[in-house]
Amino acid sequence: MNIKKLAAEKAVDWVEEGMMVGLGTGSTAAYAIEKIGERVKQGLHIRAVATSVQSENLARKWSIPIIPFAEVGEIDLTIDGADEVDPDLNLIKGGGGALLREKIVAARSRQVMIITGENKVVQKLGAFPLPVEVVTFAHEWTIEKLASFGCKPVLRQTKEGDIFKTDNGNYTVDCHFDVIEDAARLHHKLNNVPGIVDNGLFIRMASAVVVAYESGVIEVLRAPSRR
Ligand SMILES: O=C[C@H](O)[C@H](O)[C@H](O)COP(=O)(O)O
Please give the share of the chain, as a percent, with pLDDT higher than 70: 98
**Which whole number is the average pLDDT over 116-138?**
98
Domain boundaries, the chain: 3-117+203-220, 130-197
Question: Ligand 1 in contact with 26 (CB < 6 A)?
Answer: yes
What CATH code would you report for 130-197?
3.30.70.260
Q: Give the atom of ligand 1 at the shortest distance from the alpha carbon of 80.
A: 6
Q: Which of 9, 34, 84, 102 is labelled catalytic?
A: 102
Please indicate whether residue 22, judged by its CB atom, sits closer than 6 Å to ligand 1. no
Q: Which residues contact 146 (CB under 8 A, 6 or more apart)?
A: 132, 153, 173, 175, 190, 193, 196
Residue whose CA is closest, atom 9 of ligand 1? 82
Q: Calculate mean pLDDT across residues 88-104.
A: 98
What integer best gives the mean pLDDT of the chain?
A: 97
Q: Express each pLDDT in 176-193 by its tens digit.
A: 999 999 999 999 999 999
> What's the rounded Cα separation, in Å, for the pair 114 and 77?
11
Please report the pLDDT score of residue 77 as a whole number: 98
Please say whether the beta carbons of 206 and 83 come within 8 A. Answer: no
Cα–Cα dist 50/59, whole Å: 8
pLDDT reported for residue 226: 53
pLDDT band for position 113 (cuts 50, 70, 90): very high
- Give the DSSP H/E element, type plus range, for residue 80: strand 75-80
pLDDT digits (tens, 9 = 90+) for 190-213: 999 999 999 999 999 999 999 999
Length of the chain: 227
Residue 51 is predicted with a pLDDT of: 98
Helix axis angle for 27-41 and 3-11, nearest 10°, is 50
Give the closest residue to 91 by CA, choosing from 56, 109, 115.
115
Q: Is 81 in the pocket of ligand 1 (CB under 6 A)?
A: yes
Complex ipTM value: 0.98
Residue 178: C-alpha distances to residues 20, 124, 125, 181, 191 (Å): 37, 9, 8, 10, 20
Does residue 143 have a pLDDT over 70?
yes
Mean pLDDT of 85-89: 97
- Write out pLDDT tens, residues 48-83: 999 999 999 999 999 999 999 889 989 999 999 999
Is pLDDT of 227 > 60?
no
What is the per-residue pLDDT for 225? 63
Does the annotation list 95 as a binding residue? yes
The set of residues, in sequence order, having a beta carbon less than 8 Å from that of 57 and lying 6+ positions away, is none
Position 26 pLDDT exceeds 60: yes
The yes-or-no answer on residue 34 being catalytic is no
CA of 25 to the centre of ligand 1 (A): 6
- 97 CB under 6 A from ligand 1? yes
Q: Specify the fold of 3-117+203-220.
A: Rossmann fold (3.40.50)
Write out the H or E segment, with its range, that includes residue 16.
none
The Cα-based distances of 202 to 124, 142, 143, 170 in angstroms read 14, 21, 21, 19
Distance 105 CA to ligand 1 centre (A): 15
Contacts of 154 (CB under 8 A, 6+ apart): 129, 173, 174, 175, 176
Q: What is the pLDDT of residue 161?
A: 98
